[in-house]
Chain A
Amino acid sequence: MQRSTLAGAADGAAPASGSDVVTSDGPDRTRAIGRAIGQAASAGTVLALVGELGAGKTQLAKGVADGLSVSTVVNSPTFVLMNEHAGRLRLYHIDAYRLDDPEDAVAAGLIDERQADGVVVIEWADRIRDWLPAELLEVVITAPSADSDLRQLRWTAIGDAHRRLADAALRDR
């Protein structure tokens, strides 16, 4: 499990803001955090999610969809790799779980230019870190432990737009 942030691997051109942490005690709270991100998102928002099986990545994505007023069912794109949903902005929900070779992300058509006009949520983003856009909001979710439902969502924003998004949606939560 990679605990290091994607930000560390990104190009140094965009200064990274300080990262911060919000906590969640389960799926409802995780979805609410996602909803806040979805509500504050704008065209070009990229949300990179990192965390183990069961951490709540899909729950966070469902919340983002909610915040974008998506009405279709948002389920795991593990099998098809990417789902698209119509909403206030178009949601591209990507899942890199099965990608062992990052170049697959390009070969499989996961990354394309249309996404600049919508909102992109990438689960297992650490598996395709070389192919991620330079500016993004990364959220690393720790898995719950055997005796606690609590998870930490540690976020890092890269670029002005994503810093503003993080400030609006995540700071002081």
Chain B
Amino acid sequence: MSGPRILAIESSCDETGVAVVVGGRRIEANQVASQVALHAATGGIVPEVAARQQLRWIIPTLEAAIEQAEAAWDDIDAVAVTYGPGLIGSLLVGVNVAKALAVTHGKPLVGVNHIEGHIYANWLTDAPAGEPLPPEPEFPLLCLVVSGGHSQLVLMHDHGRYTLLGQTVDDAAGEAFDKVGRLLDLPYPGGPAISQAAQGATPVTRFPRARTDGAYDFSFSGLKTAVLREVQGYRDRGEPVPVDGIAAAFEEAVVDALASKTVGAARDHGVASVALGGGVAANRALRATLDDRLAADGLSLRVPPPAWCTDNGAMIGAAAAHRLAAGDRADATLEAIPNLSLPWLDGL
């Protein structure tokens, strides 16, 4: 097998992920401990709890990953870790464990940007050793990264070379799902709950699509307010709130915004491939709508399996391989940076 075998750690939010990835593509182990069930009780992430849970799970997850990979430390070529963006308390757990492992075992340390990890999930495969790997995404690649904390439309020219085409100017897509879920009294996390409620329901209205200054920017706060007013209207009239129909109208508006900006960017920049990343990529309506609209332009949509879209260590291992190849090494001074940004190239 070609390429380095990297042990990768992801702890930016409420998932504790440790993976072993070879050559930036082939997953040998991918273990994730999730706190979603824990946070469902409070309707969101509780940072102190998240950090404590990271501490609780990091070593068992690490041990499980090493066991799954049947790897000895002699076989590991480097240690990689997410150092931002994310919750500081959660990030610190992974960063410090990674530093300790790298120093103890004398391995190079690679710091990875979480967003870059979501993009590189599109390179992952679980093909067994010795079998041919599926083709890589072709450049230029347009990637829509949508999750609880992020909504970015990224044009990737080559490994490590990115242009930020657009981003949310207020709420992230996943955050909008969570908050509207709360307005509709649906369980946390809001994304799957809203999708489920919306499925097969007829939208009760057409919520307005936001206009943004940037051609590829997103805005979801006006939509959130529109949902609030819609809900209040029913409550004021003493009528039952048609949760399913409102969920359907909301999901339609979000998907339409994400899809139309993505398709527009793909056309304007003549990209070779289009991919999704981040937890919201699991949304069925988003995938179906994008697939449909991209097909008209002869493009197909790449979507990693759901387990690689939500936070995990394997995507960090994939991104790390290219950072390592580029000579990008961190050392024991690596710090967690909650608002870390990718090194964007100047606009095209």
Chain A residues engaging chain B, CB cutoff 8 angstroms? 27, 52-54, 56, 58-59, 62, 73, 75-76, 78-84, 97-101, 103-104, 107-109, 143-147
Q: Is B47 a contact partner of A107 (Cβ separation < 8 A)? A: yes
**Complex interface: chain A residues within 8 A of B169 (CB):** 73, 75
Residues in A with CB closer than 8 Å to B339 are: 80, 83-84
What B residues does A62 contact at CB under 8 A? 170
Query: Which of B46, B171, B229 is in CB contact (< 8 Å) with A104?
Result: B46
- The digit string for B223-257, where 1 denotes a CB below 8 A from any CB of A, is 01101111011001000000000000000000000
| Contact between chains at A79 and B89 (CB < 8 Å) | no
Please, which residues of chain B bring their CB within 8 A of the CB of A82? 338
A-B contact pairs, 11 of them (CB 8 A): A73-B169, A75-B167, A75-B169, A76-B175, A79-B175, A80-B85, A99-B46, A107-B47, A107-B51, A107-B89, A143-B232
- Name the CB-closest residue of B to A108: B47
Judge whether B333 is part of the interface by a CB distance below 8 angstroms: no
- In the complex, whether B140 has a CB less than 8 A from a CB of chain A is no
Contact partner, A143, options B47, B51, B228, B338, Cβ 8 Å: B228
Q: Verify B228–A53 contact, CB threshold 8 A.
A: yes
Q: Is A80 in contact with B225, judged by CB distance below 8 angstroms?
A: no
- Report, nearest first, the 10 A-B pairs whose CB atoms are least far apart: A79-B149, A146-B233, A54-B225, A54-B228, A108-B47, A98-B44, A107-B48, A146-B232, A104-B48, A76-B171
Contact of B229 among A73, A100, A144 (CB under 8 A): A144
Q: Are A81 and B233 in contact, with the CB atoms below 8 A?
A: no
Q: What B residues does A100 contact at CB under 8 A?
A: 42, 44, 46
The distance from the CB of A112 to the nearest CB of chain B, in whole angstroms, is 11
- Which residue, of B47, B169, B227, has the highest number of chain A Cβ atoms within 10 A? B47
Partner of B89, one of A58, A108, A147: A108
How far does the alpha carbon of A83 sit from the alpha carbon of B84 in the complex, in Å? 13
Q: Return chain B residues, CB-CB under 8 Å to A53.
A: 179, 182-183, 224, 228
A101 to B41, CA, bound (A): 13
Cβ A80 vs Cβ B149 within 8 A: yes
Task: Give bound CA distance, A81 to B48, whole Å.
Answer: 12
Instruction: List the A side residues contacting B13 at CB < 8 Å.
Output: 79
A103 contacts which chain B residues (CB < 8 A)? 48
In the complex, chain B residues whose CB is within 8 Å of the CB of A97:
44
Cβ of B168 within 8 Å of any chain A Cβ, yes or no, is yes
- Let me know if B290 is at the binding interface, CB within 8 A: no
B55 contacts A by Cβ under 8 Å: no
Inter-chain contacts of A73 with B (CB < 8 A): 167, 169
Residues of A within 8 A of B236 (CB): 145-147
Residues of A within 8 A of B51 (CB): 107-108
Min C-beta distance of A154 to chain B, whole Å? 19
- Scan residues 181-200 of chain B and give those whose CB is less than 8 A from a CB of chain A: 182-183
B23 at interface (Cβ–Cβ under 8 A)?
no
